Every structure is written in structure tokens, then in C-alpha cells.
Amino acid sequence: MSEEVISLDIEQIMQMLPHRYPFLLIDRVTECVTGKYAKGYKNLTMNEEFFQGHFPNRPIMPGVLQLEAMAQMGASILLTNPDYKDKFFVYAGVDKARFKCMVRPGDRLDMEVELVKVKGPIVKAHGKAFVGDKLAVEADMIFSMV
């Protein structure tokens, strides 16, 4: 049996996630297999609020927001499963986070998140985000269902 690959536009993402601007940090889920993995992106423009202060005259997307964007992408892996519909996940930990290149206005942050393990309310995932073909950030993430 083949796995269903789905995609989500911004309206579908907003029905699934509680986040709203300026904290909704994904624009599209291009590929998702429920319970396995998700891929998608965030388009970055100079209009992002965080660029105004991080840093003036040299705008860079804060690393913690790159991690948050990957977490939101990872949420789609579970929230597309009817068993998890309307559940709420929060960060419980981040391990082995590495930031490899700056993410700036005009970039597209392409994300790939793979589910590693689900044990009760605890979820482990591995995420990578790229700008073009350059790895921008990679991390092991732990989420808790509350």
C-alpha cells in the first residue's frame, strides 16, 4: 500500500496550527506523509518584524525562529492524522542544533522534518533547513503534547 503524500496551502496550515502572524513561520507544506515526514518553506521578506531589530543594517533571521519554523513544519506530520486533530504540541527540547549559514531577507527557507519516535505524549523529530543548496540549520527536536 502506498503512502498518501499531501500538500497544504496557507489556509489549510492556519486551520491546523494555532499560530498567527508574526509567529506563523511556514508558508506552505509541499509534501507530507502523515506520521513520517514533511517538507515545505517560509519565504522571507524585509517586512518580517524580526528583521527590524535583528539587526538594523544587517538583517538576519534569529536562530530560535528558524528552529520554531522547523517545529511548525514538524507539527504537520502529526496534525494531519485525525487521531491528533486539535491537539497542541509545544517544544520540550532541542539537541544538536547547528547553524550553518545566515538566513536573510529575500531567502526561502526550505525545511525537511522527519519523525523519529512517538512515545505517549513525547515526539522526537529531526529537522534540516536550507537556503538554496546550503544547509542553514539542523537539529534534533523534542515536542510534548499538552
pLDDT digits (tens, 9 = 90+) for 47-88: 999 999 999 899 999 999 999 999 999 999 999 999 998 899
In a domain, 1, yes or no: no
Number of compact structural domains in the chain: 1
In a domain, 24, yes or no: yes
pTM: 0.95
**What is the CATH number for 87?**
3.10.129.10
What share of the chain has pLDDT > 90, as a percent?
93
Give yes or no for residue 103 having a pLDDT over 60. yes
In a domain, 18, yes or no: yes
139: nearest Cα among 49, 69, 43:
69
What is the domain range of residue 131?
Answer: 6-145
In a domain, 134, yes or no: yes
Catalytic residues: 54
Write down the pLDDT at residue 2.
Answer: 62
Distance of CA 35 to the CA centre of its chain: 15
Other CB atoms within 10 Å distance of the CB of residue 103: 24
